[in-house]
Chain A
Amino acid sequence: MKPFGYLRPGTVVEAVQARAAHPGAQFLGGGTNLVDLMKLGVTAPDLLIDVSRLPLDRIEELPDGGVRIGATVRNSDLAAAPVVRDRYPVLSQALLAGASGQLRNTATTGGNLLQRTRCGYFQDTSKPCNKREPGTGCPAREGAHRDLAVLGHSAHCVATHPSDLAVALAVLDATVDLHGPDGERTVPAAAFHRLPEDHPEQDTVIAPGEMITAVQLPPPPAEAHSLYRKARDRASFAFALVSVAAQLDVRDGMVRHAALAYGGLAHRPWRATAAEEVLRGAPATADTFRRAADAELAAAEPLRDNGFKVTLARRLTVSVLGELAVRRR
């Protein structure tokens, strides 16, 4: 084993300073993905900076009606928080659709967003992978890619992002608070993860040395309902084939507000802006929902074995929006 150091800083500033001082260091949250990747030899940090016990474990209601979620809040605690269950049910549902009870008890909010793809080639160091070793190639494009991307992939990478939480955050217009050597900044959750393009080794827009300190949720639209649905190969403990997070407000049969995001389709949670455009102001009918899905999925470029994801995304969209449209206020 490559020896590594372990550091447990007491404050965010100490953590960021330690990271700046050690270019080979990585932040450790719950460890449910990073430790696996270390065992697999996919990553080999010199130093683990354990941020899981920093005082970032609070869920705070903000004066503007929003909520700030500390980066170390465990997935289980976040899913169970009354404010989340009552006002952001899509978030609670997304969390509970992910992983297993044991993993959710350990996994953190920040770590969840920074987990890596589960593409089999990425996890197997005996095979090429542009995400793991830039320039080596992408065998998934011609190989086993049933579970991989249909939207926004590149010649270099067809990986998907595995998080359920991130899909819900994208639809909620959440923001991610970062703290780095150059200070603090905030980025929209929907823009936090990036497409692979020519640099699939970069999953997110996070800069070297930055850490996630919190996720902020704006106040939910007063009259909107939200829902998360995830299709998967078994009833629990499986990554999404496709998931849909949606928020919808219908008045007098017309869509007043709509937000839609997909999981399992791309290298990042896929905020469906083209679909939202179709939905806004349109009659809340199955036909509209179909047109919305088609508008978004027209850009899909399925690979040999994953075209079913496009069908599945379309069907889930119509079903989820249809269910939200008839919810009683």
Chain B
Amino acid sequence: MSHDPHPAPPPATGHVLGAPVVRREGREKVTGSARYAAEHAPQDCAYAWPVPATIARGRVTAVHTADALALPGVLAVLTHQNAPRLEPPDDPILALLQDTEVPHRGWFVALAVAETIEGARAAAEAVRVSYESLDHDVVLTADHPGLYTPKEANAGHAGARESGDFDTAYAGALITVDATYRMTPLHNHPMEPHASTAWWAGGRLTAHDSSQGSTQVRNDLAAVFGLARHAVTVVSEHVGGGFGSKGTARPQVVLAAMAARHTGRPVKLSLPRRQMAAVVGHRAPTIQRVRLGAGADGVITALAHEVVTSTSTVKEFVEQAAVPARMMYTSPNSRTVHRVVALDVPSPSWMRAPGEAPGMYALESALDELAVLLDLDPVELRLRNEPGTEPDTGRPFSSRGLARCLREGADRFGWRPRDPRPAVRHEGDLLIGTGVAAATYPVLIAPSSAQAHAAADGSHRIRVTATDIGTGARTVLAQVAAAALGVPVDRVQVEIGRSDLPDATLAGGSMGTASWGWAVHKACTALRERLRQHEGPLPAEGLTAAADTGDEVAAGSPYARHAFGAQFAEVQVDTVTGEVRVRRMLGMFAAGKILNSRTARSQFIGGMTMGIGMALTEHSTVDPAFGDFTECDLASYHVPVCADVRAIEAHWLDEEDRHLNPMGSKGIGEIGIVGAAAAVANAVRHATGVRLRDLPLTPDVLLPHLP
């Protein structure tokens, strides 16, 4: 039998999709050889350290740099007076060192550059800044006079939607819930701080950047520096998490590039953890009022979700928390409204499931309140409010697995039999309770392009500017390619994380795998067809096929496309101390075809863990006097530790949905956090009989209500 490097594929190759293929870069990561953005050290690399503003609003009147410049090894101090001029950026947070305005405490007003990182830090501390300080306004209140209804909330959703006649329906409803839920600001705080190493050579800019999308950051850099896109290369080979805070270019990469241009040296800038809270985004605080009207059968006839939130004076970012109420449950009469006020605070941005995470906390808590009033099982209540079509648009769902998730999740969790009476399950000083909440996240997709190459030796190579932020993107794209090509997965090499590969969207909006994968699938399908038609040995340079999904994505879909899930939690409340701990948690998800069961599970339980943090431990406090966040390190900003996550399970339906993309996948990066906090808080109510609506549920919040 002659050697054929490209044998005919086996008839069924679907088995590789869904398989628990191990992470391709796992060994590099656990041995420390995987290089992150700050671990690249080009020759003559200098180091930068930012100087944050110490007033909450006003302007810089002078920057005194002489002391800093006199320190040994200090190369430069960039200020608004000498920093390179930038083109006005799309994202105003990138207009760094361009003027004297100080819109919030922590805004960067200078940048020290030195031969060593210690020298840069010392120089930054030696910079003296004079300010004209103005009164500031940093506290969000439900009746703030500056509140207004924006035209659009984040992701292009309408600021307000109204259908039917909510007021009349609510007034006439037999059973009503009217509850207000408050959430503090939250921070993404990925393990890897925002870091960049940048240099210029022959008019070209290269940056290693900790980002969720090299194509996007390249475009952002080209725009602010007035360069052609091909004159910029952004590399994000390994990224230690982002959770939305690295979705687009952030200050570190622009500053590193400015400093590199100013000094003529490569410059490395890794944001100190304590500075991050003010400059890379956060989830804005929300005050959410939910009103539900229902009949005795539990069917909702009136639904209002009104969200009050804040943004900065730098830009309008509106957490779209009222949006999930537009598609979750049947209600002929609904009102979903956002109101926002611009405060003198750092700019909010994307944080894992913007909109859905806070919005579903409020909505799913309100559903639980309704279930209590009706004396109806909360799983059953949700089943009674399943819509036939998407309530807001009337479009059919491409698939809606919520009911199955609720039923199967309940079975796996052991939800029934459940005594609905609160505060009756004791174990010593502990009160025990269970809670459930639904989850949802939209199926998003963005145009991407990819190349597939068949080498003469029989190997294949995929090229696409995808980013692996710890999710396993390399691995799952190899699986997509292997399935489309009909070859073993170990015959596929994957090149990602560099903007000079074919353009692609960012790892955000739970759309990375679907968007990149579609382009990879299309390129591989074309390559496979070329291989099929090719006669004789391959040419030395191999065969290549390229694909772009611009047309497919632009064509859109007549379907309402969403992932769904059901979250179940069992909590214990220590009646002595008010400490709440999650004893076990189970998530059941319907997210289309799951492409890698190993990495998917990791994303689901990671999201659920972040939801536990949102419910119980994580909060950022705006300091009214200073205007900054009180918790700015990982000792005070309490993300859950292993001891907070005792038993956590994620399962999923084998969901077939033909209206998505060639892989049949929905996104999974965000849905794990959605509903998790509501399930925990609902369990706390079941345990104690007390409905606590403001997160997080720390001991001081519980104590006044305990026996």
Given contacts A233-B699, A241-B699, A241-B700, contact A315 B576 (CB under 8 A): yes
**Closest chain A residue to B106, Cβ basis:** A126
A268-288 at interface with B (beta carbon < 8 Å): none
Given A118-B636, A126-B54, answer yes or no on A233-B617 (Cβ-Cβ < 8 Å): yes
- Residue numbers in B under 8 Å from A235 (CB-CB): 581, 641, 643-644
- B52: which A residues are within 8 A, CB to CB? 126
Q: Please state if B699 and A231 are interface contacts (CB–CB under 8 Å).
A: yes
Per the 8 Å Cβ criterion, residues 126-152 of B in contact with A are none
Question: Which of B7-15, B115-123, B402-410, B508-516 lies at the binding interface?
Answer: B115-123
A319 CB within 8 Å of chain B: yes
Grouping DSSP codes into helix (H, G, I), strand (E, B) and loop, the A interface class, with mixed when no group exceeds half, is loop
B640 in the interface (beta carbon within 8 A): yes
**Range class of the A interface residue count:** 20 to 34
A2 to B72, CA, bound (A): 11
Of the listed residues A126, A232, A235, A316, the one surrounded by the most CB atoms of chain B closer than 10 A to its CB is A235
Q: Is the CB of B616 within 8 A of A231?
A: no
Pairwise interchain contact A127-B429, C-beta atoms closer than 8 A: no
Does chain B have a CB within 8 A of A208? no
CB distance from A242 to the nearest CB of B (A): 8
**B313 beta carbon closer than 8 Å to chain A:** no
Most chain A CB within 10 A, of B116, B121, B274, B626, is at B626
| Known contacts A1-B118, A235-B641; A146/B700 CB under 8 A | yes
* Cα distance A6–B617 in the bound complex, in angstroms: 39
Q: A139-B625, A144-B621 are in contact. Are A1 and B122 (CB under 8 A)?
A: yes
Closest Cβ of chain A: how far from B60's Cβ, in Å?
15
A124 to B644 Cα, complex, angstroms: 29
Known A139-B626, A143-B623, A308-B699; judge A315-B577 contact (CB<8 A). yes
Chain A residues whose CB sits within 8 angstroms of the CB of B118 once the complex forms? 1
Is A312 on the interface with B (CB-CB < 8 A)? Answer: yes
Residues of chain A contacted by B624 (CB below 8 angstroms): 143
Set of chain B residues within 8 Å of A236, measured between Cβ atoms: 641-644
Within 8 Å of chain B (Cβ to Cβ): is A329? no
Q: Are B698 and A233 in contact (CB under 8 A)?
A: yes
Q: Chain B residues near A239: list those with CB within 8 A.
A: 635
| Chain B, 601-640, CB within 8 A of any chain A CB | 616-617, 621, 623-626, 630-632, 635-636, 638, 640
Is there an interface contact between B625 and A142, defined as CB atoms closer than 8 Å?
A: yes
* Contact of A234 with B by CB under 8 A: yes
Residues on the B chain within 8 Å of A233, using CB: 617, 638, 698-699
Total cross-chain contacts (CB, 8 A): 85
One digit per residue, 1 when the CB lies within 8 angstroms of any chain B CB and 0 when it does not, for chain A 47-84 equals 00000000000000000000000000000000000000
A144 to B138, CA, bound (A): 14
Contact with B616, one of A40, A120, A234 (Cβ below 8 angstroms) = A234
Are A234 and B577 neighbours in the complex by a CB distance under 8 Å? no
Minimum CB–CB distance from B50 to chain A (whole Å) comes to: 13
What residue in chain A is nearest B121 (Cβ atoms)? A1
Chain A stretch 125-176: residues in CB contact (< 8 A) with chain B: 126-127, 139, 142-144, 146
What mask results when residues 214 to 254 of chain A are scored 1 for a CB within 8 Å of chain B, else 0?
Answer: 00000000000000010111111111010000000000000
- The answer to whether residues A144 and B623 also contact, given A120-B630, A308-B700 and a CB cut-off of 8 A, is yes
Task: Take A1-B119, A143-B623, A233-B617 as given contacts and tell me if A118 and B635 are in contact as well, using a CB distance cutoff of 8 Å.
Answer: yes
- Asked if A41 is at the interface (CB within 8 A of a chain B CB), the reply is yes
Q: What residue of chain A has the Cβ atom nearest to residue B639's Cβ? A: A234
B579 beta carbon closer than 8 Å to chain A: yes
Residues of chain A lying within 8 A (CB to CB) of residue B626: 127, 139, 143
Bound: A238/B116 CA distance, A: 33
Task: Find out whether the CB atom of A231 lies under 8 angstroms from the CB atom of B617.
Answer: no
Minimum distance in angstroms from B75 CB to a CB of chain A: 15
Within 8 A of B (CB), among A296-318: 308, 311-312, 315-316
B695, chain A: closest CB distance, angstroms: 13
In the assembled complex, how far is the CB of residue A45 from the closest CB belonging to chain B, in whole angstroms? Answer: 15
In the bound complex, CA of A37 to CA of B642 (Å): 27
A144, B630: Cα distance in complex, Å = 7
Contact B122 A234 (CB under 8 A): no
Expressed in whole angstroms, the Cα–Cα distance for A222 and B343 within the complex equals 62
- Min CB–CB distance A5 → chain B (angstroms): 15
The 7 closest A-B pairs by CB, nearest first: A1-B118, A235-B643, A231-B577, A308-B700, A236-B643, A144-B630, A319-B576
Known A-B contacts: A126-B52, A316-B577. Give 7 more (CB < 8 A): A1-B119, A40-B274, A231-B578, A233-B638, A234-B640, A236-B644, A308-B700
17 CB contacts below 8 A, A to B, read A126-B52, A127-B626, A143-B625, A146-B700, A231-B574, A231-B577, A233-B638, A235-B581, A235-B641, A235-B643, A236-B643, A237-B643, A241-B699, A308-B704, A311-B704, A312-B578, A315-B576
- B residues apposed to A, CB below 8 Å: 52, 54, 116, 118-119, 121-122, 125, 274, 429, 574, 576-579, 581, 616-617, 621, 623-626, 630-632, 635-636, 638, 640-644, 698-700, 703-704
Write the residues of chain A forming the contact surface with B, with a CB cutoff of 8 angstroms. 1-2, 40-41, 100, 118, 120, 124, 126-127, 139, 142-144, 146, 229, 231-239, 241, 308, 311-312, 315-316, 319
